[in-house]
Amino acid sequence: MSSRVNESIGRAFALRLGLWYAALFVASAVTLSVATYALLARALAAQDHDALASMLSRYAVEYQDEGLNGLQTMITADAGQGRHERLLVRVMNQRTEVVYFTAPPGWGAFDLSWLDRPAARRSGWTTIDSPPDGAVFEVGTAMLDDGILVQVGRSSHVRDELLANFRARGLQVLALIAVAAVAGGFLITRAGLAPLRALESTVRSILRTGQLDARVPLTHSSDPLNELGTRVNEMLGRIQALVVGMRGALDNVAHDLRTPLTRFRNVAESALVAGNPESMREGLAHALEEADRVSATLTALMDISEAETGTMVLAREPVHLASVVDEAVSLYADEADDKAITLQSHVPSALQVVGDRTRLRQVCANLVENAVKYTERGGRIDIDAGPTGDGVSLTVRDTGIGIDPADIPHVWDRLYRADASRTTRGLGLGLSLVKAVVVAHGGRVDVASMPGQGSSFTVVLPASART
C-alpha cells in the first residue's frame, strides 16, 4: 500500500518537474518563434519597399533618358513581363491626364481619390492603412521634371497572407512542441528519478524490517545519483559491520564474564558456609583477586571489541619505537632478572612510526610479558625492529617453551590458552588485544614457534605508520 502511495507521489513529482521543464521549453520556443516572426515581417516589408523604390527610380531614369514615350514603352514591357501583377502603377502627364494605370484585381472598385491628395502627389512615400482587403497600402511617388507624375504602389496583402500562414503553422508546431515537452519532461524526469526512488525504497525497507543487509540497486553509470547509491551502500555496509560487531562484542563479554563471576560467587559462598573468621578472611582475599580479574578481563574485552569494531580512538602521532619498547622492557626487567633471563632490545633509536603511543606500549608490554612468562630460567629474549618492504616490523624472540603447532592458529583467539601455559597466570586475552590494536593501526601480526625451542612474535605496522 505504502509503496503504491510512494509510487504515485513519485509520479506526481515527476509530472510537476516535467511540467516545469515543458513550460521553460515552450516559453523558449514561443520567444524564438515571435522573434523569427518579427524579423520575417520586417524583412518582407523591407523587400517590398525596396522593390517599389527600385521600380520608381528605373522609371525616373528612363523618363529622363527617353522621355514619356520611352517610359511608356518600359512600363508596357514591365506589364507584359508580369511585373505589375499585384502592383498599382499610375502615370500622369502635365495636364494631370492619366496616361497609364494598372491596379491589382479588386482595386478598381476602391476609391483611389487619395492618390490625388497633395500628400500623395509629392515625391515620397504614402501609406494607406485600410485598403478594401484590410492590408496596408504603400505608394511611392516621383514627380519628374516636366510635371510627369509616376506612382507605384503595393498592397501588403501577399506578405500578410504569408505571415498569417506562418502564424497558423507556428501555432500548430508550438502546440506539438508543448505536448512533446510535457510528455518528454515527464518521462525523462521519471527515468532520472529512478535511482532516488530505489534509494528511498531501500531506506524504507531497512526502517520497516530493521534488516541492514538491504542495498541500493546500482547501475554501471557514473552519474551522481549512482555515485550516491554507492556511497549509501558503503555506509550501510559499515553500519552493518559495526552493529554485528557490537552485538558480537556484547555476547562475548556476557559469555566471558560468566565464568569469573561464577568463580567469584563460589568463593564468597564457600567462605560464608565455612563460617569461621579465618576462612572468611581468606574468602574475601580470594574474592578481591577474582574481582580484579573480572575488572581486568572486562577492560581487555572492551578494548578488543573497540579495536575490532573500529570504534577505538587512536591518538596517532610520530612515536619513537625504541622508547616504547624500552618502557615495556623496564616494566618486566625485574621479573626477567629473577628468572636470570637476558632481555635485550636492539631497536634503532631513530626508528619512528605513526601510531597511538599508549596502545603501542600495550602491544609491546603484552609481547614482552608473554616472552618473560613463557621462558624458563636462564633463557634469552631479543627485541628487534626495522623497516620492511611494506612498513616497520617489530619482533620479540624468546628461547622459551614454544607453542605446539596445533595451538599456533588459536593463540590470537580470545581466552585461548595452550595446555602448556595453564600453570602460568593469565587471562588468555593479551595476544587478542595485540592483534586487535595492530589491525586497528592497519598492520598485521605473525608468530613462528617450535615447542621447546622458543617463539618469535612479529608485528608489522603499515608504511603509512612510518615517518
Residue nearest to ligand ADP (CB): 426
What is the full DSSP assignment across 5-48?
Answer: HHHHHHHHHHHHHHHHHHHHHHHHHHHHHHHHHHHHHHHHHHHH
Q: Kindly determine how many residues on this chain lie close enough to bind ligand ADP according to the rule CB under 6 A.
A: 22
CA-to-CA dists, residue 401 to 156, 364, 456, 457, angstroms: 116, 20, 11, 14
> Interacting stretch for ligand ADP, rule CB under 6 A, among 33-41, 88-96, 124-132, 394-402?
394-402
Distant-in-sequence, close-in-space partners of 264: CB < 8 Å, separation ≥ 6: 287, 290, 291, 294
384: amino acid identity, one letter:
D
Place of cell 525497507: 205
Place of cell 606500549: 361
Q: Would you say 236 or 304 has its CB closer to ligand ADP? A: 304
What span, in angstroms and rounded, lies between the C-alpha atoms of 270 and 268? 6
Rg (CA), the chain: 51
Binding map of ligand ADP across residues 396-425, x = CB under 6 A, - = no contact: --x-xxxx-------x----xxx--x----
Told to check if 87 binds ligand ADP by CB under 6 A, we report no
> Between residue 443 and residue 462, which ones bind ligand ADP under the rule CB under 6 A?
455
Among 429, 437, 440, 445, indicate the residue that binds ligand ADP (CB under 6 A): 429
Among 178, 246, 427, 463, indicate the residue that binds ligand ADP (CB under 6 A): 427
Q: What is the DSSP letter of 123?
A: S
Among 370, 393, 395, 458, indicate the residue that binds ligand ADP (CB under 6 A): 370
Told to check if 103 binds ligand ADP by CB under 6 A, we report no
Told to check if 264 binds ligand ADP by CB under 6 A, we report no
What span, in angstroms and rounded, lies between the C-alpha atoms of 406 and 412? 13
Residue count of the chain, please give it.
467
Least Å from the CB of residue 433 to ligand ADP = 8
Q: Would you say 197 or 417 has its CB closer to ligand ADP? A: 417
What span, in angstroms and rounded, lies between the C-alpha atoms of 43 and 8? 51
Q: Would you say 33 or 458 has its CB closer to ligand ADP? A: 458
> Between residue 27 and residue 46, which ones bind ligand ADP under the rule CB under 6 A?
none
Binding map of ligand ADP across residues 339-368, x = CB under 6 A, - = no contact: ---------------------------x--
Binding site for ligand ADP (CB under 6 A): 366, 370-371, 374, 398, 400-403, 411, 416-418, 421, 426-432, 455
